[in-house]
């Protein structure tokens, strides 16, 4: 289960509510960039990309991670039919990535926000759902002009002085061992002493789930450090959000929301929540059990071509795409784990 999945689950909500008190604070501000389409999630992800593009240009020493959309071809494994939805998606993904990389490279040289840089942000955002949830955007490659205008309105609201680093700026960093614990986890921006999550929402409020998410990032940082540099989480004393449709950055003082006397015990409880957790791929939930050491297979060999008879339990992870997963490689660094099907 991912951190976002855990945050939204009944067990996750119970964990965070029992361990952390959310302050009652009302944020005041004017909606300056209302959405122009109903592509809310797409624009949220696209603006995340655009914001990081701009920060990298303005602060060249900022450390950026590979794009979520830029994953290897082995993620898709074998595509037998060139006319299948997966094959079409894969072809467009490669085309869009090439276009985005060329456009981004040019932007880093001149800093000009062309139509193509806005378009690239949207094209990359169309790919992200596959990497994160194996979901294919049926409109991949198509860009609505109103979405481009929406991004222009959003970026014009940014006061980049609020994001100017004194020491370091990390763009889309992960949390090393912390991220591995939850099957992958990353935050939007880390600047000096701040973890900032970008929210492109109509409402100017911190929901309980949003609060839990940002606390979750702090916990992951405590477990594995932040980014490849493994920055110590003790350097972070503010965590919060940038509300892009309002141009408002809202931060919590870490000391006000986390009791450090109890934090070690809280982290132990957090880790236990993910022990022997089932992995969810699409709509299927898979139980994970570790094989004896002598039966493990080094992860870098990947999974061999093993068919999955769903009605007889899981023996691998390849099924016809129109019936579920096309195929998935699971890079567990501790070897291959036995996977058994559980009831949904």
Q: Whose CA is closest to 279, among 135, 174, 133?
A: 133
Give residue 296's pLDDT: 40
Give residue 331's pLDDT: 44
C-alpha triplet 153, 195, 273: angle, nearest 5°: 120
From first to last of its 344 residues, the chain has per-residue pLDDT tens of: 788 889 988 889 999 999 999 999 999 999 999 999 999 999 999 999 999 999 999 999 999 988 888 875 544 555 556 677 778 888 888 899 999 999 999 999 999 999 999 999 999 999 988 877 777 888 888 999 999 999 999 999 999 999 999 999 999 999 999 999 988 889 999 999 999 999 999 999 999 999 999 999 999 999 999 999 899 999 999 999 999 999 999 999 999 999 999 999 999 999 988 876 554 434 444 443 443 444 444 433 343 333 333 434 444 444 344 444 444 444 444 444 444 433 33
C-alpha triplet 228, 279, 11: angle, nearest 5°: 95
Count helices and strands in the chain by DSSP H and E runs: 10, 9
Give residue 90's pLDDT: 83
Q: Is 184 left (phi over 0), alpha (psi -120 to 50) or beta?
A: left
Q: Whose CA is closest to 79, among 70, 68, 66, 91?
A: 91
User: pTM of the prediction?
Assistant: 0.77
């Amino acid at each position: 289960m991912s951190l976002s999945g855990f945050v939204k689950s009944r067990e996750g909500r119970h964990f965070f509510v029992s361990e952390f008190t959310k302050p009652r604070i009302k944020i005041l501000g004017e909606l300056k960039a209302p959405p122009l389409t109903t592509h809310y999630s797409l624009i949220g992800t696209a603006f995340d990309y655009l914001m990081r593009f701009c920060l990298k240009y303005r602060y060249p020493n900022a450390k950026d991670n590979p794009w979520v959309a830029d994953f290897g071809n082995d993620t898709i494994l074998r595509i037998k039919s060139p006319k299948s939805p997966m094959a079409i998606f894969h072809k467009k993904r490669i085309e869009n990535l090439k276009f985005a990389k060329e456009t981004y490279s040019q932007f880093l040289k001149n800093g000009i926000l062309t139509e193509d840089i806005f378009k690239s942000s949207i094209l990359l955002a169309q790919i992200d759902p596959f990497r994160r949830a194996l979901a294919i955007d049926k409109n991949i490659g198509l860009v609505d002009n109103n979405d481009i205008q929406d991004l222009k309105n959003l970026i014009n609201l940014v006061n980049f002085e609020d994001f100017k680093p004194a020491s370091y700026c990390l763009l889309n960093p992960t949390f090393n061992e912390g991220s591995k614990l939850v099957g992958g986890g990353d935050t939007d921006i880390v600047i000096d002493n701040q973890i900032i999550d970008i929210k492109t929402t109509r409402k100017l409020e911190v929901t309980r789930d949003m609060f839990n998410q940002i606390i979750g990032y702090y916990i992951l940082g405590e477990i594995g450090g932040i980014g490849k540099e493994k920055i110590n989480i003790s350097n972070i004393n503010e965590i919060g959000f940038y509300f892009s449709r309002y141009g408002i950055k809202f931060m919590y003082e870490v000391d006000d929301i986390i009791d450090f006397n109890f934090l070690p015990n809280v982290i132990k409880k957090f880790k236990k929540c993910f022990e022997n957790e089932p992995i969810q791929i699409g709509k299927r939930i898979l139980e994970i059990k570790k094989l004896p050491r002598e039966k493990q297979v080094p992860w870098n060999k990947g999974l061999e071509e093993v068919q999955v008879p769903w009605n007889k339990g899981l023996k691998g992870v390849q099924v016809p795409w129109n019936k579920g997963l096309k195929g998935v490689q699971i890079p567990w660094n501790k070897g291959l784990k036995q996977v058994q099907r559980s009831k949904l």
